[in-house]
Structure 1
């Protein structure tokens, strides 16, 4: 205890910049090394950050690294995580926990056997947006919750992403790509899910890249691109989920939660902040001031939260939640394929709420 958690990053693509910018202002973590299959890119980022550039094998076994931050593509999540765990490192990965439920289970079991922590994005649920909504629900502002909706509809990432291929391969699609933000938020607000009923469509067999050096390149689509379904929470609440890469836009609220005496609009779950709006029975819409969550949070706060969580206490962005969310999403796809109700085999505890506070800055080695 008393020292920052030393972090090595594997995968320094586009998303890594957000983590590195956050780490620069967090006292609980310290970047010590980076690695990437593109060694030149790793060297450039290392020089910019003033840290070492290593190979992946070197980083996952380096004695100066306490936690491996895994920012690789989903297909590589399990491989890198298992390599780090085998070396006695804690791991924190981008979502999803792994490309398949079997691989995700292997990661969690390896982490438990090695006695190291496994964390996973999204950590957006730790910000003031979702946490303020959670506090309102827990405080009874909408009465007994009965239903929720979660909607994400847009044309797809190929219009702006220079290499969108993985979005349309197995393990991709709107549900596994963006669903973790929405499903993790629903679990944070309303608790675990026990069963799902889904439907999905695959409207086009190819997509055309719209920007970057590969503009005009046609890529195959091997994932469902519109997924919808109903999630039954353990509490009895029914959540309706719509995730689509086949639409232009929507005016629907990202997430709404409805209770017997009120309704709540939850801000974009891909953000850490945003306005929470409450409409009480007989009243009118009003915006709630932030009342919970980390202020000014950004990607990487989940790592800092893990670093400052005492041993034996679950970190808030933990692997069990990420596994349950992946279980929900794969069950939804299985239901869409079979046309039947599917039971979600796993469960998880709701993470501890985040009191209204600034960054988790207590130096520590909570990951060990």
Structure 2
């Protein structure tokens, strides 16, 4: 089911002053996440943020004023001739309809995760994109971060032997304690697997490859959640999706990995991601972030810190006033733009996204049925993004 075509159609890219081909980018959905894309986009070659739109025109107007771009209606943005790619930053339940509308308007799509809530929706987008010669890309792009690419480099070097197993854990006590409107996290399309799972699954595909089958046990320990954040403190949320999931993933290369995802845990001591090779182990930092420390062991030796390499997506740049974290969101969009101009498949491609969607929905299905689920989709590991390739995406050398 994987589409290996490399769409180039419908690119209106203009020339910048330095003769660089630039693709015009618009945004649908002007919530919190839009600010991150707009702040970080100027770091990258090949893209130029030009306009935004939202069902709430006041939100679009405010974001446009903040970043010096145009505010347009959704209909006008879809029809804009200066826009090549539209970023879909709407709520997950609207992702499919909005992305389909973008494709029908002849634009490429880059979506926030999750791309869709059902595999069938993703396959429909694939068919629509292929028939129009368009591309669909999707976050997360954190696996392009320096830490995860360094882990990839160590695995590819063979020093750890063959990866045979691993564990992943993403656990907390939910979103109702900080988010102003946390309801959607606990409805269909939410939950820790579809909300945070994309970071973990995308990185596992990057490090190990595609998944063959999954099994899971799931539960809803609390049928209601009490909002403790403002402005809705004290209101109740009816929980409609599992908030604790324990899954087992078997990969095509033979590796087996356990994934624990829960919003019912106050504290734990599990690492974010550990992978076990025939010759050693590697401890990978949080896939939700671009940077972090990578540690490894060779056979039974002590864990060693892998000395940071010169990957630009490892460098702390956030927050601006006192940088502590590496935040290069929009790297996936910029890499997609470069791939479109070169006629190549993006690293955050539709084929890998579809496979990730099926992994996550299959986990939820297995949790409901108690049965193993064999996956129908397949994808290749994305090409590694070494320091030189990452620097080539940036406007200024790092």
Question: Which among 355, 376, 394 is matched to residue 345 of structure 1?
Answer: 376
How far 1:60 sits from its partner (Å)? Answer: 1.7
Task: Give the ranges of 4+ consecutive aligned residues of structure 1 lying more than 3 Å apart after TM superposition.
Answer: 290-294, 357-363
User: Structure 2: 5+ residue runs without aligned partners?
Assistant: 1-12, 14-19, 316-326
Match of 1:299 in 2: 329
How far 1:294 sits from its partner (Å)? Answer: 4.7
In structure 2, the CA distance between the partners of 1:94 and 1:21, relative to structure 1 (3 Å rule), is same
Question: Which among 119, 122, 137 is matched to residue 119 of structure 1?
Answer: 137
Match of 1:251 in 2: 269
Secondary structure at 2:292 match in 1: coil
Cα distance in structure 2, aligned partners of 1:256 and 1:349: 21
How far 1:335 sits from its partner (Å)? Answer: 1.1
Cα distance in structure 2, aligned partners of 1:41 and 1:31: 17
Match of 1:73 in 2: 91
- Which structure carries more relative contact order (alpha carbon 8 Å, separation 6+)? 1
What's the TM-score, normalizing by structure 2?
0.88
Question: Which among 20, 28, 38 is matched to residue 10 of structure 1?
Answer: 28
Match of 1:86 in 2: 104
Secondary structure at 2:117 match in 1: coil
- Asked whether 1:240 is paired with 2:258, we answer yes
- Asked whether 1:161 is paired with 2:192, we answer no
Cα distance in structure 2, aligned partners of 1:108 and 1:359: 30
Match of 2:343 in 1: 312
In structure 2, the CA distance between the partners of 1:46 and 1:359, relative to structure 1 (3 Å rule), is farther
CA contact (8 A) 2:43 2:394 kept: no
User: Structure 1: 5+ residue runs without aligned partners?
Assistant: 364-368
- Asked whether 1:325 is paired with 2:356, we answer yes
CA contact (8 A) 2:44 2:394 kept: no
CA contact (8 A) 2:188 2:241 kept: yes
How far 1:25 sits from its partner (Å)? Answer: 2.2
CA contact (8 A) 2:35 2:63 kept: no
What's the TM-score, normalizing by structure 1?
0.95
Secondary structure at 1:8 match in 2: strand
Secondary structure at 1:258 match in 2: strand
Cα distance in structure 2, aligned partners of 1:333 and 1:34: 34
Match of 2:208 in 1: 190
CA contact (8 A) 1:28 1:362 kept: no
- Asked whether 1:355 is paired with 2:386, we answer yes
In structure 2, the CA distance between the partners of 1:194 and 1:294, relative to structure 1 (3 Å rule), is farther
CA contact (8 A) 1:132 1:292 kept: no
CA contact (8 A) 1:308 1:362 kept: no
How far 1:362 sits from its partner (Å)? Answer: 7.3
In structure 2, the CA distance between the partners of 1:294 and 1:237, relative to structure 1 (3 Å rule), is farther
How far 1:250 sits from its partner (Å)? Answer: 1.9
Secondary structure at 2:196 match in 1: helix
How far 1:16 sits from its partner (Å)? Answer: 1.3
Secondary structure at 1:4 match in 2: strand
Which digits, 9 at most, give the CA deviation of each residue in 1:285-333, with x for residues without a partner?
A: 1111244855245111100001112443111011111110010111111
Match of 1:220 in 2: 238
How far 1:27 sits from its partner (Å)? Answer: 2.9
Cα distance in structure 1, aligned partners of 2:21 and 2:228: 46
- Asked whether 1:289 is paired with 2:307, we answer yes
- Asked whether 1:170 is paired with 2:199, we answer no
How far 1:12 sits from its partner (Å)? Answer: 1.2
Cα distance in structure 2, aligned partners of 1:340 and 1:294: 43
How far 1:26 sits from its partner (Å)? Answer: 2.0
How many residue pairs were aligned? 363
How far 1:111 sits from its partner (Å)? Answer: 0.8
Which digits, 9 at most, give the CA deviation of each residue in 1:156-186, with x for residues without a partner?
A: 0110000111101101101000000011111
Cα distance in structure 2, aligned partners of 1:249 and 1:59: 45
In structure 2, the CA distance between the partners of 1:362 and 1:277, relative to structure 1 (3 Å rule), is closer
Secondary structure at 1:187 match in 2: helix
Cα distance in structure 2, aligned partners of 1:361 and 1:257: 29
Secondary structure at 1:151 match in 2: strand
Match of 1:366 in 2: none
In structure 2, the CA distance between the partners of 1:332 and 1:248, relative to structure 1 (3 Å rule), is same
How far 1:249 sits from its partner (Å)? Answer: 2.2
